[in-house]
Amino acid sequence: MAKNWGIQKVEQARYNNVSKNYNYLIKATIILLLTGLLFRNYILESLTLSWSPQPENPAKSEPKCPQVEPLYPSQTTKELDDLEDYLKSDSFRSKSIERLSGAVQIPTQSFDDSGNVGEDPRWDIFYSFADYLSTTFPLVHSTLQLEKVNTHALLFTWPGTNPKLKPTVLMAHQDVVPVPDSTVGQWTHPPFSGHFDGKFIWGRGSSDCKNQLIAALEAIESLIEAGYTPTRTVVLSLGFDEEISGQRGAGHLAKALIKKYGHHGAAVIVDEGMSVIENWDKAWAVPGVGEKGYVDVDVTVRMPGGHSSIPPEHNGIGVASELITIIEANPYEPYLDETNPYLALLRCGAEHAPSFPSKLRKLLNKRDHQSTCAKKHGKDDLANEAAKLGRGTKYLFTTSVAVDIINGGVKSNALPERTHFTVNHRINVGSSSEAIFKHITSLAAQVAKKYDLALIPFNGTETPSSITLSAHSTLLEPAPTSPTFESRLTPFDILSGTTRALYSTDVLVAPGIMTGNTDTRYYWDLSEHIFRYGPGWDKEQVGLGDIHTVDERIGIQGHIDGVRWFVQFLRNMDEAEL
């Protein structure tokens, strides 16, 4: 019995183990079946995604930065063919050097404190400049109609044979920024010498922007000499106070043109601006199709005066300084609005430049695949990454803040009763002056509360014991953005094709934006197609030619290429069906 019982016990244990293993086997089989079903569904879904026809996405299939083919005028004559050869000749080069050098030698400076025309004798130098142009460009003056607006603004009109076509408007300004006496000795060549060293013409205004003014006149003079008559009317509008906001010159010129041609009565406007830059191992022509806004905010701190031997803990200068510190400590965040031309330039870089930064490309793709654009409120990852490319890039899509003027106090032993400073803002595309006023008011409120001062923001006059905020009359909202990549033919295409014909297809064309403002601020109603573009490109000249500072200069080859561009652009515009 003991033996049988032992056998039974062993058999029972064996049975239990088999049962246990069998249960494990059943459970494992069930798990494997379930897993197989899951993998089957996953594989089928993957195959479906991989092989099933997908609906087309136009945003993906169409290029975001299409490049037009080089554009050459189709209508020509022997004289026009000869003109192109002449513009490349040593003879024209010598004449062009002489013309631009002579223009630089006339010190047409405009000053912030200039009085009215006819009252301030400092404007009289512009009579000399007008006389110089008359002598230098006799065919322009005998062929075109010249109207002098507000005495020194020059408005040339070259009537076209088809008055139904909207005119082409070329712009430039005659004035230059002043040269401080203290800096004259720092120039390699005297600032109004127009010195030519074999490669560059030196002097104030050589690259801002007497080069563009002379190039446009040279182009028209040459076309007249070649027997050319435009189909589309050409207008040359030359202001004389752009460097001090242009109210006396361009402000009057724009009103005259809008009155004559009507709202959006011009086909295209080309003024000074960006040229060709090299970025991401590519050369880019970047005509400015937009501009940031502008506003100066005056801040006045009024606090009790008294003898400086018994000073309060904080006086007006100290309080103003604290507010300045707070303003500088609270800058605006980079933000790329969908209408900002720099966003379009990034898309062009991603599409055409293999060396375009991979992180920027990733963030750009992420943004382009979102259903909505980047939020206005909150961090813009793409803008913050692009801002790392440098300050010059950052401020293409960031509102800038700079305290440029400050004064307070009249005597060393008297407490200041009135301290004043000015904060300059260049308003980002997608923002507004209202946003600026709200921001600086909130910062001033902190200081006003801390020192028990009244806050008077943008709607009142100064009172004792107060902080007053006010805006200058030169306030300017960000400019409308000109159309670029459209399904129809636009002036941007004509500009692009002319540029690619001049510099070959090695140069790509992308929208650009200006951090500063040009005389075009007054012309928004004259045309929606406004381009701030300096077409002359000198590969050996880095940067903008030191405009507004010591040793301003322009490469002669870039200047001559600008003349050639204007000749071709005017002819291409004549043939364009816009």
DSSP reduced 3-state for 279: strand
**Tally of CA atoms within 13 A in the half-sphere of 82 that contains its CB:** 8
- The full 3-state SS of 179-202, as one line of letters, equals CCHHHHHHCCCCCCCCCECCCEEE
Six-digit token string for 269: 């406007």
- Give the residue carrying structure tokens 């075009």: 520
Which amino acid is it at 59? A
Residue 296 annotated in ligand binding? no
Q: Is 175 in the active site? A: yes
Report helix angle 90-104 to 78-87, nearest 10.
60
Residue 195 annotated in ligand binding? no
Question: DSSP secondary-structure letter at 551?
Answer: T
Question: DSSP secondary-structure letter at 522?
Answer: G
- Give the residue carrying structure tokens 């049988």: 4
Residues 426 and 129: their CA atoms lie apart, in Å, by 32
Least Cα distance to 348 among 527, 544, 492 occurs for: 492
Residues 130 and 240: their CA atoms lie apart, in Å, by 11
CB 514 within 8 A of CB 87: no
Number of neighbouring beta carbons within 10 Å of residue 141 = 17
Residue 559 annotated in ligand binding? no
Q: Is 242 in the active site? A: yes
* Contacts with 284 (C-beta within 8 Å, 6 or more apart), sequence order: 276, 277, 278, 345, 348, 507, 508, 509, 510
Give me the residues paired with residue 532 across strands: 271, 288
Residue 548 annotated in ligand binding? yes
Residues 274 and 513: their CA atoms lie apart, in Å, by 8
Number of neighbouring beta carbons within 10 Å of residue 100 = 27
DSSP reduced 3-state for 547: coil
Residue 208 annotated in ligand binding? yes
DSSP reduced 3-state for 229: coil
Least Cα distance to 324 among 303, 305, 304, 301 occurs for: 301
User: Which H helix or E strand runs over 348?
Assistant: helix 341-352
> Which among 175, 221, 552, 574 is annotated as catalytic?
175
> Which among 241, 242, 337, 561 is annotated as catalytic?
242
Question: DSSP secondary-structure letter at 67?
Answer: -
Six-digit token string for 335: 């933000």
Least Cα distance to 249 among 131, 111, 155 occurs for: 155
DSSP reduced 3-state for 137: coil
* Contacts with 444 (C-beta within 8 Å, 6 or more apart), sequence order: 299, 323, 455, 457, 467, 469
CA–CA distances in Å: residue 572 to residues 75, 78, 144, 410, 567: 9, 17, 20, 62, 9
Residues 41 and 154: their CA atoms lie apart, in Å, by 77
Residues 48 and 254: their CA atoms lie apart, in Å, by 61
Phi-psi domain of 32 (left: phi exceeds 0; alpha: psi -120 through 50; beta: other) = alpha
Question: DSSP secondary-structure letter at 355?
Answer: T
Q: Which residues are annotated as a binding site?
A: 173, 208, 243, 271, 548
Q: Which residues are annotated as a binding site for Zn(2+)?
A: 173, 208, 243, 271, 548
Catalytic residue numbers read: 175, 242
